[in-house]
Chain A
């Protein structure tokens, strides 16, 4: 089983739609969680961190369920500019460093 799994998609949604991505992780010792966004052939960039209590940044809401070991990202009122691949990122705290594990990504296309 992969350490971090995501539905690869693609998710094709119309403008204005709400779309949700899920991510599961296998190591219960995972400490911190992030969503990164990667545009086609570009570098990944941090979208938002994911906190235990859930957090919101404008149209984006991230949730964490430690008991079930999954993370979600909800995008409301989708824009064309939201088209990208969304990477789920999990951090394991080792004894002297953090190990960062990337999921394979979920592709989103927002259609006019």
Chain B
């Protein structure tokens, strides 16, 4: 089954404790992206990747890191989480070089709470 898989789905952590949210897609998509969704603000892009070893900042990259060592995986790293990073996170992938050229396929989301 074609899918985007995120883990963990739910996480409660404390300020400053490094964490990684994994994202994996099995559709051989070139484009992958991370979003956060907050009430009233909609989906905001954190980072995106056009292909292996090619990543770039989205609209709200502060406090996050990503890597794209393999085509299928695009982990999101919070080196020192803070309470303002409490949010619902979505990973997405799309065929082609840009998300606008095709459908975005989303993972089920990871709800993160930072105390």
Contact = CB atoms under 8 A, between A and B. Distances in A.
Given A87-B42, A104-B42, A42 B109 contact: yes
A102 B88 CA distance: 15
B98 A43 contact: no
A24 to B, nearest CB: 14
A36 B100 CA distance: 13
A45 B100 contact: no
Contacts of B101: 32, 91, 98
Interface residues of A, number: 24
A107 B107 CA distance: 21
B82 to A, nearest CB: 23
Interface of A: 4, 8, 31-32, 36, 41-46, 87, 91-93, 96-100, 102-105
Interface in B85-106: 88, 90, 97-101, 103-104, 106
Contact of A98 (B40, B44, B98, B109): B98
A100 B104 contact: yes
A43 B90 contact: yes
